[in-house]
């Protein structure tokens, strides 16, 4: 049978489709990319890769691992194999025995000379290889500290020695930390501290050292893998955003409705200290950008009495951006909190001492992360410290102000209720936006937005700081959107990334924070950018929509600007329009400052 296909003069060209197909490569339908991990070291790491794969899968992160050959870390750094693999993150584990097998055998009288040699040779050598590695890859690089053996070589005299072995190891570790401190690419994994936490006596075992040059016990590999997977959470855009906490016997000890204010256990010492320290940890997470909310079955007046009046309460009412203190079930309250904050349920972490409430939420709202609090309340701080869902590679200005921004949103919603139509409400907000080319100071926030924005995100491509730097240096055009209104500053909340190929402009990424949606700012953002591109060169422009479980609302966004859907391939929709006749007319209630350079 011969099949004839009608020619479509509006069909996209081969060049444009090649470019657009590159946008969808490596992205699955959940919006998460397959993460590539490389593990290198100077001792045997057999089994660690398999444990990382298994532990990643439990976190809904899919990985591929490059396991470096035994003690070939230098060769791997210098060879092409590692870079052909294209890792997103590289773990490098170096032990002193592998760097210098005679480390503990030097004559005590010669130790000062040895230290100078070690500083100028071994340390410099490690830093040179790290520098080479960083120059040849955009991946995040995690280097381990050296481990102190126990007992120390000179027993109780070790602390008296000016050039003791421990002091040399400390010097090496500090050099690594200082070298990595100001880099967004390099991070230090404190292997020594982690082993001290889990127990060196069983995890750092000489038996496996002598049998297979294996420093870490096989029994400890799953625990070690969990630590490494915590680095993948920000890498894969799965950082959580909101902690929703119960009150009675969770945020404080006792039941306010039964015990009264005087019977509540909460103090910096005594039996109330675990709850006090628990609140300190929550306060710390809030200062790092996590937002706090309350979900409690209680009389609100009773609960507020503790929150506002208890002398040792660290988290007052203004620490929480949303609260449900009522007699509804916890799952219903969580749904309402997510809706109020315009967050996906998978952005929430739920803390409750009652196992029946935890079970209800796990069964009804499986997207919510439920932390299993133990029966022993003294372990609450430890359990919260061990939770890594809020890990991040950077800390931005927006993180610091996030709680204030959500409180400002509450005031906006109150204003909206006083207006009969959307246009009058938006006019009353007095919205101001600025659209600027991305500068070096914006890059950490731009990368952060690409990693965590899911709802208004046309392609859900995830970029690290190194990636954004590479795009800028490669000639891509990157614009950032900032917004403020009568209630406050939203900060940097939108990103558009465009590149040129042949006769086309191609939109690589277009995304906006969910906090600014519903105010028609998204229309102004893309409309002005299309005008800018037309002024630079009035050629055709292509956009791509890659569907995920969370971004259905932007499925037809390009249609608002006269784009036509020209093709659907690999589950992605390709949209196209000609800019020659494009002329965007901004609305009159959003004041726009535009960087036309």
User: In 3-state terms, what secondary structure has residue 138?
Assistant: coil
Distance in angstroms (rounded) separating the CA atoms of residues 197 and 164: 23
Give residues with Cβ within 8 angstroms of 96, minimum separation 6: 103, 146, 147, 169, 172
Q: Rounded to whole angstroms, how far apart are CA atoms 291 and 403?
A: 6
Q: What is residue 10's predicted lDDT score, i.e. its pLDDT? A: 45
Cα distance between residue 384 and residue 387, in whole Å? 5
Q: What is the largest CA-CA distance in the chain?
A: 91
The rounded average pLDDT for each run of 10 residues, N- to C-terminus, in the chain (597 residues) is 34 55 54 81 94 92 94 95 95 82 58 70 91 94 91 72 78 93 93 93 82 89 95 88 96 94 94 96 92 96 96 95 95 95 92 96 96 96 93 79 78 82 88 94 92 90 89 94 92 95 92 89 95 92 91 94 89 92 87 77
- Name the burial class of residue 427, with classes exposed (0-12), middle (13-18) and buried (19+) by CB atoms within 10 angstroms of its CB: middle
Report the distance separating Cα 163 and Cα 114, nearest Å.
9
- The tokens 């029994």 sit on which residue? 219
Beta bridge partners of residue 592, listed in sequence order: 433
Annotate 220-240 with three-state secondary structure.
Answer: HHHHHHHHHHCCHHHHCCCCC
Distance CA 16, CA 20 (A): 6
In this prediction, residue 9 carries a pLDDT of: 41
- Per-residue tokens: 255: 């039941």
Contact 480, 392 (CB under 8 A): no
CA distance 317 to 323: 9
As a residue count, the chain comes to 597
The total of other beta-carbon atoms located within 10 Å of residue 74's CB is: 15
CA dihedral 528, 530, 536, 540 (to 10 degrees): -170
Paired tokens of 591? 């004041």
From the list 545, 552, 453, the residue with the least C-alpha distance to 237 is: 453
Q: Which of 412, 398, 413, 498 is nearest to 453 (CA)?
A: 398
At residue 33, the pLDDT reads 60
Tell me how far CA of residue 46 lies from CA of 43, 68, 144, 471, 567, in angstroms: 9, 10, 17, 36, 46
pTM (2 d.p.):
0.76
Cα–Cα distances in angstroms (integers) from residue 243 to residues 106, 292, 349, 371, 594, in the given order: 53, 5, 5, 10, 37
Q: Which residues pair with 63 in a beta bridge?
A: 35
User: Which pair of structure tokens corresponds to residue 345?
Assistant: 């349920």
């Amino acid at each position: 049978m011969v099949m004839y296909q009608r020619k479509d003069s509006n069909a996209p060209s081969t060049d444009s489709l090649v470019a657009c197909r590159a946008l969808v490569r490596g992205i699955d339908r959940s919006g998460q990319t397959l993460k590539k991990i490389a593990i290198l070291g100077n001792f045997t790491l057999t089994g660690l890769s398999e444990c990382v794969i298994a532990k990643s899968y439990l976190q809904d992160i899919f990985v591929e691992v490059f396991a470096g050959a035994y003690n070939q870390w230098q060769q791997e750094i210098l060879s092409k194999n590692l870079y052909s693999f294209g890792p997103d993150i590289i773990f490098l584990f170096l032990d002193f025995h592998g760097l210098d097998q005679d480390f503990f055998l030097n004559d005590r009288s010669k130790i000062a000379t040895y230290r100078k040699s070690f500083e100028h040779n071994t340390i410099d050598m490690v830093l040179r290889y790290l520098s080479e590695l960083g120059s040849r890859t955009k991946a995040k690089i995690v280097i381990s500290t050296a481990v102190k053996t126990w007992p120390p070589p000179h027993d109780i005299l070790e602390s008296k020695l000016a050039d003791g072995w421990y002091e040399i190891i400390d010097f090496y570790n500090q050099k690594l930390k200082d070298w990595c401190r100001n880099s967004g690419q390099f991070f230090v994994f404190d292997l020594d501290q982690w082993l001290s936490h889990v127990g060196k006596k069983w995890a750092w075992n000489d038996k496996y050292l002598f049998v297979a040059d294996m420093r870490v016990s096989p029994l400890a590999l799953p625990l070690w893998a969990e630590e490494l997977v915590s680095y993948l959470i920000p890498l894969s855009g799965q950082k959580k955003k909101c902690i929703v906490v119960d009150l009675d016997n969770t945020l404080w000890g006792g039941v306010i409705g039964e015990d009264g204010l005087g019977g509540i256990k909460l103090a910096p010492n005594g039996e109330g200290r675990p709850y006090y320290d628990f609140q300190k940890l929550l306060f710390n997470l809030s200062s790092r950008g996590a937002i706090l909310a309350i979900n409690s079955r209680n009389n609100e007046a009773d609960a507020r009495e503790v929150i506002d009046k208890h002398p040792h309460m660290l988290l007052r009412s203004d620490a929480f951006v949303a609260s449900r203190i009522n007699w509804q079930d916890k799952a219903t309250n969580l749904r309402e909190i997510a809706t109020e904050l315009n967050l996906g349920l998978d952005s929430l972490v739920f803390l409750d001492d009652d196992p029946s409430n935890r079970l209800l939420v796990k069964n009804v709202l499986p997207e919510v992360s439920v932390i299993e609090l133990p029966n022993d309340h003294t372990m609450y701080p430890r359990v919260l410290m061990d939770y890594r869902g809020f890990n991040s590679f950077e800390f931005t200005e927006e993180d610091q102000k996030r709680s204030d921004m959500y409180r400002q949103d509450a005031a906006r919603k109150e204003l909206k209720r006083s207006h009969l139509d959307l246009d009058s409400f938006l006019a009353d907000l007095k919205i101001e936006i600025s659209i600027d080319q991305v500068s070096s100071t914006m890059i950490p926030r731009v990368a952060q937005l690409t990693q965590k924005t899911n709802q208004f995100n046309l392609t859900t491509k995830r970029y690290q700081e190194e990636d954004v730097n590479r795009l800028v240096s490669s000639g891509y055009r990157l614009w950032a959107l900032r917004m403020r209104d009568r209630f406050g500053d939203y900060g940097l909340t939108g990103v558009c990334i465009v590149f040129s190929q042949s006769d086309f402009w191609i939109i690589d990424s277009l995304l906006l924070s969910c906090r600014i949606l519903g105010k028609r700012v998204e229309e102004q953002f893309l409309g002005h950018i299309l005008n800018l591109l037309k002024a630079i060169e009035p050629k055709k422009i292509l956009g791509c929509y890659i569907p995920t479980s969370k971004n259905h609302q932007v499925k037809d966004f390009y249609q608002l600007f006269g784009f036509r859907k020209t093709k659907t391939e690999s589950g992605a929709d390709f949209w196209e329009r000609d800019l020659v006749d494009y002329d965007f007319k901004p609305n009159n209630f959003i004041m726009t400052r535009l960087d036309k350079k």
